[in-house]
Structure 1
Amino acid sequence: MHISEKKTENITSSLLAYVSFTFIGYFIIGLSLSVLPIFISKTLGFGLIVAGIVISVQYVATFFLRAYSGKIIDGKGPKLAVLYSMIGFSITGIFLIIAYYFKFSPFLSLTFLIITRLFTGCAEGLVGASPINWAIMAFGEKHTAKIISYNGVACYGSLALGASLGIVIHQYSGLYGIGILSILLGIIGFFFAKTKRNKINKNRKEVQSFWKVLGKVTPFGLCLGLGGIGFAAISTFITLYYTFYHWNNGALSLSVFGILFVAGRLIFNNSINKYGGIKVAIACLLVETLGLSMIAFATDPTLALVGAGVTGFGFSLIFPALGVVAIQSVPAANQGSALAGYGLFIDISLGVAGPVIGAVADFAGMEYIFPFSAFMVFIGLILAWFLKRKYLV
């Protein structure tokens, strides 16, 4: 018993080295995530639809890099993809600084922001599935649920932490400070990745085309994408939502979302193996719908804060719960492509959600963005229920 516990502890500590690349990447993404809508609308003077479109450019770029990332992982190993991603994240910092210095020219500054988002999307597409596959190759498929869960903690925890810190940095040094920190973190991540040993897929002859794999994981990806709309609404628009109602501490709701998200991953990370991925996804989507509904009907910032926490708790296990089932639907040689294809749907979700929710805010009113988001997540809940009946898992 003692030896088993010690072995588990060693795996956990070693796993942190791999998911640290996810932490660095998504922390950099988070730094500008909640700042850019404010900068674009308040400083540059564009509407929320434009802000949403600029944010979504990242996810469009990520969409196209996912397939390339899966090909690299299955063919040459995940290390190369991680190295490329860290270079990309550093470049995003450079263009953020340029956009900051050209803020006197709104259209020129916006152009540099679009370039920034393109590089951010490319970097995200490369780092999205790479650390997960790297860790699975190192520790074995039996730890897949745990690896995806811990990677998700690093992903969304750092995203929320970065978004909160980004607002603070922006108050004192604008996009310039965020750009400098992004460059430094990308460099640190690059040289740390250089120290790690690469892992190569031993069953490369069995590899199927990315598009064939994508077809197999699509049902799970669609469910994930609908669940991701709630996350997109909070991460991109919650600070503006608080401003609209003249509430204070909008950034705190991002932190609470992240804290409850991490808590859900850590406390219930074994529930997927115990109850099955689809059942856990159904429970999570139900909780997330409840959390978004609380924000939608909140009459004060406290209830909205609680709603953000409930939403984070509900969203916590959706990705790993459905991800485990998605991986099981393809041969072992295609795990890189499976995770890359599966992750496409969260990219599409976040990419579409930005301009769509922005359009809802512009044409219907800011007060309708969370009822809309709750409804979309509820559709995901219905889809998950049908998946349960079909796959019986």
Structure 2
Amino acid sequence: MSSSAASAQSSDSAKSAHQSAGAPVNATALLVRFSLNVFLACLTIGMSLSVVPLFVHDTLGYHNVIVGFAVGVQSLATVLTRKFAGRTADQRGARVALMRGLVFVGLSGIALLATSLISVAAEPRLAVLTLARLLLGVGESLCITGTLTWAIGSLGAAQSGRVMSWTGAAVFGGFAVGAPLGLALYGGTSLAGVAIAICLLPLAGWAVISRIAAVAPAHQAGGALPYSQVLRIVFMPGLALALQGVGFAVIGAFVVLYFEASRWTGAAIALSAFGLAFVLMRLIGGRWPERFGNLRVAQASLVVEAIGLLIVWQAPVAWLALLGTALAGAGASLIFPSLGIEVVKRAPAASRGTSLGTYAAFQDIAILTTGPLAGAVANPFGYRAVFLCGAVAAALGVVVVVSLRARQR
């Protein structure tokens, strides 16, 4: 590592120690503001995600393949722009990255509003809707990466696990609250009401964080790494994160179908149990990675996730499957912040945004690819088999984390 990178990291560590020791109340207040902004931004994603399938299928009259395309293109845009978002945060500043992300979210609302108002054939409206989804995907990438980089830069690297725990809870909460809110607006005002809300929410988010002091781009101090080296730094933690994401994805995509095929009641409760356990663990155990060791917490979390998925796989009754989904949610919860701390430790400050963006992309890719692959497994072997696949993936994640711990000894 170059002397300038070492100097930047030393300065960052000193600032981190001063901030974490000097003003924990202020740190919590800042975290609340950063997290509230993320929550508001992710409300727009949850709202859009819940109504786009209905609009494309019922209003535009397209079949399920096009519905799937309209939903998935946003996630594809997010994955493909993670590196761009990280570079923006590193070179232009995290505040700039976040501000641009909010602008993209607002523009997506304008495009969605145009989709709802124009009276033309279905094809042009689908094209404008696709543009709205692409803009929202870019906005998500910039908002999340910008927030993580800005918050860690403001509070110091020693608080990175806590930052990622709170931010992740805000993301998940925004998705969960946004879906029913979007459906309620859609039912009362059609797509236009949802679009107007998506236009306004970024303004509310910016009002929450606009007075937080900007952090100078660490890139100015030198020490930024070539992207090939960023990939080497991120690969092992990212691989473990991706293996965790398999279980996350199979629960989200197939647990409702599994309950219905098993003729059990409580399918919606299963998703709620997973989500509630996920958020509660983030809030309760947000400081565990720093307190007990980030890789130790990641390893234990993957074990818990694997056990939960195995219970779902073999559950003879609904309540055991519910228990398994809750355990899987609790296990999955702390893996992103725990392994993210490892990324922050390994990456120089000048490449932190790029590293975090690339790291997050591993989970994005896992979730994008798991659905169709698990569907191919479910067709011949049944829904139970996909949860076994998720458990195997989590177990492989344990092997990756054990390898990471061995390298540190």
Match of 1:189 in 2: 205
Greater shift in the superposed pair: 87-96 or 359-368: 359-368
Greater shift in the superposed pair: 222-231 or 183-192: 183-192
Match of 1:310 in 2: 327
Match of 1:16 in 2: 32
Match of 2:100 in 1: 84
CA distance in structure 2 between the aligned counterparts of 1:314 and 1:248, rounded to whole angstroms? 24
SS, match of residue 200 in structure 1: coil
Contact 1:19 / 1:132 at 8 angstroms: preserved in 2? no
Match of 1:230 in 2: 247
Per-residue deviation, 1:203: 5.4
Correspondence for 1:69 among 73, 85, 98: 85
CA distance in structure 1 between the aligned counterparts of 2:77 and 2:165, rounded to whole angstroms? 25
CA distance in structure 2 between the aligned counterparts of 1:351 and 1:372, rounded to whole angstroms? 16
Question: Paired residues, what number?
Answer: 388
Per-residue deviation, 1:120: 2.4
Distance 1:247 1:158, change over 3 A: farther
Greater shift in the superposed pair: 24-33 or 321-330: 24-33
CA distance in structure 2 between the aligned counterparts of 1:363 and 1:187, rounded to whole angstroms? 49
1:147 maps onto 2:166 in alignment: no
Match of 1:351 in 2: 368
Contact 1:164 / 1:252 at 8 angstroms: preserved in 2? no
- The unaligned stretches of length 5 or more in structure 1 are none
TM-score relative to the length of structure 2 = 0.81
1:201 maps onto 2:208 in alignment: no
Task: Give CA deviations for 1:159-214 in whole Å, capped at 9, x if unaligned.
Answer: 23334544555666665554343232223224444444321135522222333212
Task: Give CA deviations for 1:84-142 in whole Å, capped at 9, x if unaligned.
Answer: 21122233344555666899987666555543432222112111221121112212222
Q: Which amino acid aligns with 1:387?
A: L
Match of 1:331 in 2: 348
CA distance in structure 1 between the aligned counterparts of 2:407 and 2:229, rounded to whole angstroms? 20
Distance 1:238 1:51, change over 3 A: farther
Match of 1:294 in 2: 311
The residue correspondences of 1:1-393 to structure 2 (distance < 5 A) are 7-33=23-49, 46-47=63-64, 53-96=69-112, 111-166=127-182, 175-202=191-218, 204=220, 205-239=222-256, 241-242=258-259, 250-298=267-315, 301-361=318-378, 365-366=382-383, 368-392=385-409
CA distance in structure 2 between the aligned counterparts of 1:103 and 1:353, rounded to whole angstroms? 37
CA distance in structure 2 between the aligned counterparts of 1:247 and 1:111, rounded to whole angstroms? 40
Distance 1:251 1:308, change over 3 A: same
SS, match of residue 216 in structure 1: helix
Q: Which amino acid aligns with 1:337?
A: T
Contact 2:47 / 2:183 at 8 angstroms: preserved in 1? yes
Q: Which amino acid aligns with 1:86?
A: L
Q: Which amino acid aligns with 1:295?
A: V
CA distance in structure 1 between the aligned counterparts of 2:229 and 2:322, rounded to whole angstroms? 42
Higher alpha-carbon Rg: 2
Per-residue deviation, 1:268: 1.9
SS, match of residue 129 in structure 1: helix
Per-residue deviation, 1:52: 5.1
Contact 2:314 / 2:384 at 8 angstroms: preserved in 1? no
TM-score relative to the length of structure 1 = 0.84
CA distance in structure 2 between the aligned counterparts of 1:390 and 1:353, rounded to whole angstroms? 29
Contact 2:101 / 2:139 at 8 angstroms: preserved in 1? yes
